[in-house]
Amino acid sequence: MTAMPKVLPELTELRSGVRRLLAPNPSMMTGPGTNTYLFGKREIAVLDPGPLLEAHLEKIVSVAAAPVRWIIATHTHPDHSPGAARLASMTGAELLGMPAPDGDHQDRTFRPTRVLGDGDVLRTDEFELEAIHTPGHASNHLCILHRASNWVFTGDHVIDGSTVVINPPDGNMKAYLASLARVRDLQPAALLPGHGDRITDPARVIDWIIAHRLAREEKVLAAVCAAPGSTTTELVPAVYADVPQDLYPWAERSLLAHLIKLAEDGTILNQDKRWLAAIKSGMVT
């Protein structure tokens, strides 16, 4: 569940008028760093300026080499949007996206001047970018469809070489799986993630993520049936035997996301912070 750091070039022209600039914030959670994408040549839209790193923001402006008119955030986690307000003050650009929801780990400095909803399109004479609302990793998460290429820019919805954290209550596993199916149904030609390299086989990768999550969900249900009345913490070792113990705090967040989904499906119940199967355990195979 951790990102695998791999080396990416700092600046890559992915196709004419679509560039990727890597922010210098590599870590276990961000892999090589956050990908900032630039669309256009004469007027620029910036997707995910990343954390508030002055040198990176200056680099965005110099790489753009044209007026930055729009700044879009896929979501308001600390590695994606905190540079946006500062970049807007440097360039006069409009801020597009969804406002930060309540809760921890949200960048409240990101206040969109234009709130994007599902299906909204930023149209210029150089490109069309369509917002696809993809809640799951974050309730305000947007993927961005670049219409000319049929590429989907996936932020943290799908990243390269790793699964993403679904951290309740803002993260929601049921919504996440539905949003994965949504992107798969777009039949994108490639996925351009917020971390890591271009994904050229979107259907295969999305199918693997869905299968991986459903396999984990089966383990969660089996663990609840084997030890009914367990707390979330007590279930971690049974479900995440394959994960190093120092990652258990993260595993517990994902486990809770699975438990909430199973409860939303009506398969299990929570009573006094303890989990029980909603059907007789003998019926679960």
Binding residues for Zn ion, rule: CB under 5 A, are 77, 156
* Interior angle at CA 53, CA 52 and CA 58, nearest 5: 115
Q: Which is nearer to Zn ion, 44 or 142 (CB)?
A: 142
- Our measurement of the distance from residue 68's CA atom to the centroid of its chain's CA atoms, rounded to an integer in Å, reads 24
At closest approach, how far in Å is the CB of 120 from Zn ion?
Answer: 21
| Least distance CB 30 / Zn ion (angstroms) | 9
CB closer to Zn ion out of 142 and 262: 142
Is residue 51 within 8 A of residue 25, CB to CB? The reply is: yes
Q: CB 67 → Zn ion: shortest distance, Å? A: 28
Give 205 or 277: the residue with its C-beta nearer to Zn ion: 205
| Closest distance to Zn ion from the beta carbon of 135 (Å) | 12
Q: Minimum distance between the CB of residue 137 and Zn ion, rounded to whole angstroms?
A: 6
Which of residues 110 and 275 has its CB atom nearest to Zn ion in the complex? 110
Whether the ω angle into residue 169 lies within 30 degrees of 0, i.e. cis, is: yes
CB of 49 to Zn ion, least distance (A): 14
Q: How far is the CB of 213 from Zn ion (least distance, A)?
A: 17
Please identify, using beta-carbon distances, which residue of 20 and 77 lies nearer to Zn ion.
77
Name the residue nearer to Zn ion (CB basis): 138 or 236.
Answer: 138
Task: Give the other-Cβ count within 10 Å of 224's Cβ.
Answer: 27
- DSSP assignment of the chain equals ---------SEEEEETTEEEEE-S--BTTTBT-PEEEEE-SSSEEEE---SS-HHHHHHHHHHH-S-EEEEE-S---TTTSTHHHHHHHHH--EEEE----SSSS--TT---SEE--TT-EEE-SS-EEEEEE--SSSTT-EEEEETTTTEEEEETTSBTTB-----TTTS-HHHHHHHHHHHHHT--SEEEESSSS-BS-HHHHHHHHHHHHHHHHHHHHHHHHHSTTB-HHHHHHHH-TTS-GGGHHHHHHHHHHHHHHHHHTTSEEEETTEEEESS-GGG--
Closer to Zn ion by Cβ: residue 69 or 75: 75
Q: Which is nearer to Zn ion, 156 or 197 (CB)?
A: 156
Cβ 77 to Zn ion shortest distance, Å: 3
